[in-house]
Structure 1
Amino acid sequence: MLLAFFKVCRLPNLLIIIITQYLIKYSLFNSFGIDITLSDFGFFLLCLATVCIAAAGNIINDIYDIETDQINKPQKQILDKDISLKTANNLYIILSVLGVGIGFYLSNLIGKPGFSAIFILISALLYLYATYLKQVALLGNVVISSLVAMVILIVGLFDLFPAITPGNRQTQSVIFSILLDYALFAFLLNILREIIKDQEDIIGDYNSGRKTLPIILGAQRTNKLIFLIGLIPLAAVIFYIYQYLYQHLYAVIYALLLIVAPLLYFLIQLWTVKTTSEYRKLSLILKLIMVSGLLSIGLYQFIL
């Protein structure tokens, strides 16, 4: 039961969230020695709230994906087998309430009660995505990718923003611009991965009556669109290396080997990919690129 719970919550993805947020707090922020708002315990609560809401989103997504999962990946289906639908719904409610409740407490703790609306909105969008938005071509991809970007931005909103003063505004703005860069990177990589997953799940989505991009445009046209979108993060990373990292050899090597090279490989493979297993491989490559990109936050303490 516990193993099934971890699987339906997507434990590896939750660990990526935790590591990313802690790297931002204790590597990036500490490197600049900037003014922050949250104590260690307060930051733990922020991370816990984020993880609870993300886990709840994964569960509700699986609940409404049972029909398509029976077609696309029956061997990996957990709900209605290892975990009953009633238990899954109860877990969704508990995690959602816990995440939003912690967010409400934390917002009042930092003197920004209005920020509690962020957690409510994220939880509501995850529910809408699972029940409706994922059926709308591209819109669902954009919404879920925006929420992935919020994993990064929410740290800045709760830890940086309340600590801004006229004296430190410039420094705080520089840090927030770095967070925006990483959030945009995560957004673009996740857009690519969501469309690739739509390619992977095209049979089940078609039988379920969903209107994803591959169903509307066809697989080949969708691959061309993915290629064009993929050029954006590739160009952005190359520009970032040239503009900011060229004096730091190890950072350049890291970016070239773990981000640029896999992205180029991904784009090249798009021209020949056809089978579900091939799309699954490309999805994994994108996930690894995203993880490598997010882990690079930890490099700031060595290059500043």
Structure 2
Amino acid sequence: MIQIKNLVKTYPKRGSKERLKAVDDVSLELKPGEIFALLGPNGAGKTTTIKCACGLIVPDSGQIKIKEHDVLKNRSKALQHISVVLEGNRNLYWRMTPVENMKYFAGIRGKHLKKTEALEILKTLGIEEKANEIVHKLSRGMQQKTAIAVCLAAGTDILLLDEPTLGLDVNSAVEFRSLLKNLQERGKTILLSTHDMNLVEAVADRVAIMSKARIVVCEEKKKLLSLFSARGYKICLIENDSLQKKLRNLGFTEWHKDGNIIEIHLNLTTSKQLYEIIEMFKNNQIEIESIERELVNFEKIFISYTNDTPSQS
């Protein structure tokens, strides 16, 4: 549905002859009917990649195809298959109502959207009662839902969603997960750029993580989770007067104390390492209460690959 090959986009650095690489040799491929999540810290290149894919930015080099139509060579045919929500609610006219926005943007694309159709879309997002209010008077969350409604009104096969849950409250964000799964069941292909790790875990089929303008990992969500769950362990130790001193001498710097139990969380690359740690504790008369394998969520995966904490802004 979308093919991105060797995409490069640079910008001039202020006060320098060098150029800043916003996207550096990025390649992605979206399969029909999948939800593909693009993760990365601010400045990693996610939004630039999406803007190149929808024709808003011309890349320095590389190729982008949407349903086999080259975005650079045959822009109009390529873009008729996609709808976009960019960085929150920027694809709206603030002096128009949600229904007017939906009819207007659908009309630009040659689609006559009936008011009943617009209201049905707004109903699925839970904002039908705001259908005739001016957008700039709506809350940020309502504006975000309106931006999504405008995207859905075009009726395209492919949706590019850049931070679609930005500004949504917890209940609305949970509802949005169900909406995405419903859209997928209706045959939509979705490219999702987000910092919402719970959303990724709930809906994504595949995940790419960007860091410093490059893709550092691209894998099926289940494989990523299984990879990291095999490495995560929680070891509970019975505390005594010398335990914390022994741990520091052995090179441990972080642990959590719960009553007379010291919890250590480890990410190990092989099972052999676990046996070595058990033997080390035995040799130092450190009593083990229990060892549990832990599931590592996407926030930990994200941090592992980018050495950064996901921003909520």
More strand by share: 2
TM-score (norm 1): 0.29
Higher alpha-carbon Rg: 2
TM-score (norm 2): 0.28
Specify which structure has the bigger relative contact order, considering alpha-carbon pairs within 8 angstroms and separated by 6 or more residues.
1
